[in-house]
């Protein structure tokens, strides 16, 4: 029987890494992820987790050390946020293109300048194209559940891709929540041991990271794309199996009170919780609204998005990041693009909000929905609106 404990989400992440029996942790502190690496250090120091804890000297080296560890077949884990994710940017591309199954939790944080340690999705959006499997979570249970799944998905011989679990910095990382943590036996049953097929080993020498002249580079990228697309089947199967074992179910796009709704709001991350409260309130007032929660960010769930919005007239998307000089809300622009060829598609309205840790209340979401409906009727000069900014 699973235990329910009141625990800070960051610490729960560390506990989950312990339950998953990770072999190598590359650790570099950055707000708001520090509690994760601190707790992992304590677990190792107490002998509760038998892992190599590498206190690296930067995030670039953190991800680089993960490459090395993963390449010899070790189960590898790290955590970062904001600027740290930026510093390891080039290494992220290498992890995915070299197919090294590293697992990383990112406590989403706003990007400098100005310096902000508080949460938003600008760091997530800057790594869209890195080829990692990326999953959004909205509460502590979702974080630990998907972290468990992440190890299994990443190391699956049909996948062998690195996985990022996104959680909102502070809003989620520092929350103390009552969580179900699995028993070690349940974890052992759910995650098979890491059997990387070509570990660096003198008994069977391989060369990793050969360079590709133009004649062959395109083929390597096609292979990478095909691989990431194919991982979706493994992700879905993993979630199905997870639901079977633990009775909590996950899917690429989740909905809340959206049946028959003509107006849909779409959020990612912890704002989904507040948005649900807003939807409850508006439903009670007789409004025809529902909520969609994007969970699987990469590989992008084209099919599920199209299915979820096919009966809606208006789709209002709240992004927590701003693509300057461009479409404004990055997720919105991707969804709009995904719906472009559909026969029946809703009007897609873009809002950007919650930047740098700014909160959005239930009333805020009500405003966004109403304003979104208004824009869908009257149109707007702007490509998007920033919610709550003082003009």
Binding site for other proteins (CB under 8 A): 23-24, 26, 50-52, 54-58, 60-62, 64-74, 76, 90-91, 94, 97-100, 160, 193, 197-213, 215-216, 219-220, 222-223, 226-227
Farthest-apart Cα atoms in the chain, separation: 69
The pair of three-digit structure tokens given for residue 368, joined into one six-digit string: 């966004």
- Nearest 10 degrees: Cα torsion 316, 318, 323, 325: 50
As measured in angstroms, the least distance from the Cβ of 180 to other proteins is: 27
Residue closer to other proteins, measured from CB, 223 or 389: 223
As measured in angstroms, the least distance from the Cβ of 74 to other proteins is: 4
What one-character-per-residue DSSP string does 214-255 give? HHHHHHHHHHHHHHHHHHHHHHHHHHHHHHHHHS----SEEE
Contact yes or no for 100/262 (Cβ under 8 A): no
Residue closer to other proteins, measured from CB, 67 or 106: 67
Residue closer to other proteins, measured from CB, 97 or 108: 97
As measured in angstroms, the least distance from the Cβ of 152 to other proteins is: 18
Segment holding 319, helix H or strand E? strand 314-319
Residue closer to other proteins, measured from CB, 156 or 304: 156
Q: Which residues of 100-123 are buried (b: 16+ CB within 10 A; e: fewer)?
A: bbbbbbbbbbbbeeeebbbbbbbb
d(CA 69, CA 48) in angstroms, rounded, equals 20
Residue closer to other proteins, measured from CB, 75 or 345: 75
Residue closer to other proteins, measured from CB, 76 or 108: 76
As measured in angstroms, the least distance from the Cβ of 185 to other proteins is: 18
d(CA 153, CA 132) in angstroms, rounded, equals 12
As measured in angstroms, the least distance from the Cβ of 104 to other proteins is: 14
As measured in angstroms, the least distance from the Cβ of 151 to other proteins is: 15
Q: How many C-beta atoms surround the C-beta of residue 152 within 10 A?
A: 22
Residue closer to other proteins, measured from CB, 204 or 390: 204
Q: Quick one: which of 291, 315, 320 has its CA closest to 386?
A: 320
As measured in angstroms, the least distance from the Cβ of 218 to other proteins is: 8
């Amino acid at each position: 029987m699973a235990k329910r404990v009141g625990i800070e989400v960051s610490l729960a992440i560390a506990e989950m890494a312990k339950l998953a029996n990770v072999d190598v942790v590359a650790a570099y502190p950055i707000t708001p992820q520090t509690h994760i690496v601190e707790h992992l250090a304590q677990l190792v120091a107490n002998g509760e987790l038998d892992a190599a804890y590498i206190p690296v000297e930067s995030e670039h080296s953190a991800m680089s050390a993960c490459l090395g560890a993963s390449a010899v077949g070790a189960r590898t884990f790290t955590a970062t946020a904001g600027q740290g994710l930026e510093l390891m940017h080039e290494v992220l591309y290498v992890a995915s293109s070299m197919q090294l199954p590293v697992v990383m939790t990112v406590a989403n944080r706003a990007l400098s300048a100005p310096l902000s340690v508080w949460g938003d999705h600008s760091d997530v959006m800057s790594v869209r194209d890195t080829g990692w499997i990326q999953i959004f979570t909205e509460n502590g249970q979702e974080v630990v559940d998907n972290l468990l799944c992440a190890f299994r998905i990443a190391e699956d011989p049909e996948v062998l891709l690195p996985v990022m679990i996104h959680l909102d910095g502070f809003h989620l990382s520092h929350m103390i929540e009552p969580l179900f943590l699995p028993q070690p036996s349940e974890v052992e049953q759910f995650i098979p041991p890491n059997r990387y097929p070509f570990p660096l080993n003198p008994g069977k020498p391989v060369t990793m990271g050969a360079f590709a002249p133009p004649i062959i580079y395109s083929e390597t990228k096609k292979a990478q794309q095909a691989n990431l697309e194919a991982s979706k089947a493994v992700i879905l199967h993993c979630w199905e199996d997870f639901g079977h074992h633990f009775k909590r179910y996950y899917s690429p796009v989740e909905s809340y009170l959206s049946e028959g709704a003509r107006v849909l709001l779409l959020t990612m991350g912890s704002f989904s919780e507040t948005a649900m409260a807003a939807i409850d309130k508006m439903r009670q007032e007789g409004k025809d609204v529902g909520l969609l929660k994007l969970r699987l960010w990469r590989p992008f769930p084209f099919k599920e998005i199209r299915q979820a919005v096919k009966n809606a007239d208006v789709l209002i998307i709240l992004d927590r990041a701003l693509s300057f000089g461009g479409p404004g809300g990055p997720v919105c622009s991707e969804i709009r693009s995904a719906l472009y060829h559909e026969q029946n598609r809703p009007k897609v309205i873009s809002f950007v909000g919650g930047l740098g840790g700014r909160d959005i209340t239930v009333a805020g979401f009500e405003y966004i929905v109403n304003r979104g409906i208004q824009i869908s009727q009257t149109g707007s000069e702007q490509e998007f609106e920033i919610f709550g900014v003082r003009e």
